[in-house]
């Protein structure tokens, strides 16, 4: 933004005077979707037409005069149908394009990690180029970047005068695109939300109140919010066009990182009355009308914002990100199935992480079973450290998840994340560059060309996925969970002590270490016997744990010398303040000669 206030006032007055002359100024008309949905009240009376949007002038500075309007470069990537299935392809080479890469979210800063890589004063063009080149060297081709994680405060995307966008921040976005072009990397730019700075959020919340809670429940259903969002994308793309940004290295513009609304806030929390949105009037006593209100509102929202984007970047692809909130956060609401069939998004970006529920549950929640009309990215997946505390099982889980996703129709994979989050982040994942970039090398197209094939990693844990039996087990906590290397699952007997668990290692081993992950609530005094032998009926006590334990403790037994001829390991719990459970049983050693 200009730093010459007097000059702005003069120019503004001149602009106002000029607009008093008929046809001297024209407001760009809003673009309506091709087919506007019609909602009917229970009586059969047609709903009122969509509410009229409030016109707001573009807040960025005017483009520099030129003989011909600037035309952004054509995007290299597009989408085509091949044998009835949609796929990305490269216009230059004509070859299919499979997005593979990482979310570029965190960067090192002051001894920790910052999630503001584009912030003015923090953005590092040298590091950005080094990281993009490192990815390209392993044949990765895509990164996903948040446009507006830095949404308020000095150096963020909104300008300091709270009107429009920060030109220095736009410089950083343009420079990152230059870095991508140099490395032949494509960027999927995503918006986390409307910035809190720049005037956009205030306008989007103009009609919030008893009918529409502020923030997300207003952002997608009210005309002011649609206008504010269009203005945001207009300012962004106009500003980048002024800088000659390398749009040809943009995979797509993502309207939202993850779309969702609050189920416990109006209008979704309302159980009676009529609500008027951008697409009509809906009866809140009718669950089907409430569902239609959201899906039709989002279809309209998407059409409006996409049309605005294409005015400034005609060959762009437009997408939106989703996760399954009914699985992850029950109080949040999103319904993707109608959007798959009725929205004009070019492709979809779904997020799902291993370690909790089966991938099939996510696919069902997304409504994407047998869907092939448009590409679907697995735009976020990774191994959470609180679920996989060790790197090797984390890496194996990632490989298995990626391979399984192929069967469900995912068309690209972007790992979460390149640099790991700060250690204080609760849902931190293993990063691409952790442990001498182990995961980055493992998933690399140069080393693993077909993402849909399995890779088996060497596993020193002799108990991993071996046959296991127990004295009792809850249906939802089977005994196999004790040997799955997933810290978030556990075997639960469903009963008090005494209880036991027994593992068949498959052959005689010389045991060097046994590790037990405690799953216990409340904390208290426990007694566990560790037994081993060559046959189930021929076991001897190897060690006894007798101490105060609590959830998350590791009990470790390391004998002075390897214990030979052990094929069966048995853990007997004699005393515990809780029902007997174990999170993990790990056994290490080598085959008996």
Residues 503-540: tens digit of each pLDDT:
999 999 999 999 999 999 999 999 999 999 999 989 99
CATH class entry, domain 468-591: mainly beta
Average of per-residue pLDDT values in the chain? 88
Residue 130: CB atoms within 10 A of its CB come to: 12
pLDDT per residue over 144-165, tens digit each? Answer: 999 999 999 999 999 888 789 9
The pLDDT value recorded for residue 188 is 98
Report the range of poorest mean pLDDT among 313-322, 424-433, 455-464, 531-540. Answer: 455-464
pLDDT per residue over 573-585, tens digit each? Answer: 999 999 999 999 9
Contact 316, 247 (CB under 8 A): yes
Give the residue with greater pLDDT, 235 vs 42.
235
Angle of CA points 211, 215, 220, to nearest 5°: 75
pLDDT per residue over 62-77, tens digit each? Answer: 344 444 567 889 999 9
Q: Which long-range contacts (CB under 8 A, 24 or more apart) does 134-138 make?
A: 134/440, 135/101, 135/102, 135/183, 135/185, 135/418, 135/440, 136/183, 136/184, 136/185, 137/446, 138/440, 138/441, 138/444, 138/445, 138/446, 138/447
Categorize the per-residue pLDDT at 487 as very low, low, confident or very high, splitting at 50, 70 and 90.
confident
Distance CA 518, CA 536 (A): 24
Tell me how far apart the terminal alpha carbons of the chain are, to the nearest angstrom.
76
Helix (H, G, I), strand (E, B) or coil at 132: helix
Sign of CA dihedral 325, 329, 332, 333: positive
The pLDDT value recorded for residue 62 is 37
Categorize the per-residue pLDDT at 1 as very low, low, confident or very high, splitting at 50, 70 and 90.
very low
Domain 12-28+70-443: give its CATH code.
Answer: 3.20.20.80
Q: How many helices (H) and strands (E) does the chain have?
A: 12, 25
CATH 3.20.20.80 domain residues, the chain? 12-28+70-443
CATH 2.60.120.260 domain residues, the chain? 468-591
The pLDDT value recorded for residue 535 is 95
pLDDT over 70 (residue 412): yes
Give the residue with greater pLDDT, 537 vs 213.
213
Contact 380, 423 (CB under 8 A): no
Give the residue with greater pLDDT, 60 vs 368.
368
The distance from CA 245 to its chain's CA centroid, rounded to whole angstroms, is 26
pLDDT per residue over 273-295, tens digit each? Answer: 999 999 999 999 999 999 999 99
Share of the chain above pLDDT 90, in %: 81
Distance CA 538, CA 435 (A): 42
The pLDDT value recorded for residue 259 is 95
The pLDDT value recorded for residue 501 is 97
pLDDT over 80 (residue 270): yes
Tokens of 374: 């448009």
The pLDDT value recorded for residue 454 is 85
Q: Phi/psi zone of residue 484: left (φ > 0), alpha (ψ -120 to 50 degrees), beta?
A: alpha
**Mean pLDDT across 300-312:** 98
pLDDT over 60 (residue 214): yes
Contact 497, 580 (CB under 8 A): yes
């Amino acid at each position: 933004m200009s730093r010459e206030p007097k000059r702005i006032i003069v120019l503004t007055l001149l602009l106002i005077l000029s607009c008093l002359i008929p046809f001297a100024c024209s407001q760009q008309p809003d673009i309506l979707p091709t087919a506007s949905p019609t909602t009917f009240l229970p009586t059969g009376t047609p709903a009122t037409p969509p509410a009229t949007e409030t016109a707001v002038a573009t807040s960025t500075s005017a483009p520099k005069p030129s003989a011909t309007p600037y035309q952004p470069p054509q995007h290299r990537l597009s989408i085509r149908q091949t044998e009835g299935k949609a796929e990305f392809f490269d216009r230059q080479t004509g070859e299919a394009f499979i997005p593979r890469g990482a979310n570029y979210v965190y960067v090192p800063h002051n001894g920790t990690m910052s999630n503001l890589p584009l912030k003015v004063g923090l953005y590092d063009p040298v590091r950005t180029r080094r990281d993009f080149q490192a990815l390209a060297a392993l044949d990765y081709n895509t990164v996903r970047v948040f446009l507006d994680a830095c949404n308020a405060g000095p150096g963020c995307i909104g300008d300091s005068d709270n009107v429009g966008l920060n030109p220095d921040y736009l410089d950083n976005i343009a420079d990152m695109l230059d870095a991508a072009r140099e490395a032949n990397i494509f960027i999927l730019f995503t918006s986390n939300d409307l910035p809190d700075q720049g005037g956009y959020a205030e306008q989007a919340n103009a009609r919030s109140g008893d009918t529409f809670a502020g923030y997300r429940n207003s952002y997608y259903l009210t005309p002011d919010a649609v206008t504010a969002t269009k203005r945001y994308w207009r300012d962004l793309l106009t500003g980048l066009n002024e800088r000659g940004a390398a749009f040809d290295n943009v995979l797509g513009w993502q309207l939202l990182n993850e779309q969702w609304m609050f189920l416990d806030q109006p209008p979704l929390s309302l159980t009676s009355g009529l609500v008027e949105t951008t697409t009509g009037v809906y009866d809140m006593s009718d669950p089907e009308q409430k569902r239609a209100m959201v899906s039709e509102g989002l279809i309209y929202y998407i059409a409006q914002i996409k049309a605005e984007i294409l005015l400034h970047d005609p060959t762009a692809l437009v997408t939106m990100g989703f996760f399954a909130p009914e699985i992850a956060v029950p109080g949040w609401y999103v319904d993707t199935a109608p959007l798959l069939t009725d929205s004009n998004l070019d492709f979809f970006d779904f997020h799902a992480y291993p370690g909790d529920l089966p991938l099939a549950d996510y696919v069902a929640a997304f409504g994407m079973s047998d869907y092939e009309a448009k590409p679907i990215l697995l735009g976020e997946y990774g191994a959470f450290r609180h679920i996989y505390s060790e790197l090797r099982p984390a890496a194996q889980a990632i490989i298995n998840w990626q391979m399984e996703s192929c069967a469900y129709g995912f068309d690209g994979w972007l790992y979460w994340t390149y640099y790991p989050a700060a250690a204080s982040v609760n849902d931190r994942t293993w990063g691409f560059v952790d442990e001498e970039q182990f995961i980055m090398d493992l998933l690399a197209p140069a080393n693993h060309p077909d993402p849909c094939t399995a890779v088996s990693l060497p596993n020193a844990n002799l108990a991993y996925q071996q046959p296991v039996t127990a004295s009792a087990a809850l249906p939802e906590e089977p005994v196999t969970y004790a040997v799955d290397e997933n810290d978030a699952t556990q075997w639960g007997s469903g009963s008090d002590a005494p209880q036991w668990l027994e593992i068949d290692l498959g052959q005689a081993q010389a045991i060097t270490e046994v590790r037990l992950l405690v799953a216990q609530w409340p904390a208290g005094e426990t007694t566990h016997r560790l037994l081993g032998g060559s046959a189930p009926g021929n076991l001897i006590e190897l060690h006894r744990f007798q101490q105060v334990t609590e959830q998350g403790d590791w009990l470790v037994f390391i004998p002075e010398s390897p214990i030979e001829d052990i094929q069966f390991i048995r853990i007997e719990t004699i005393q515990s303040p809780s029902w007997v459970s174990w999170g993990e049983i790990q056994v290490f050693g080598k085959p008996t000669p």
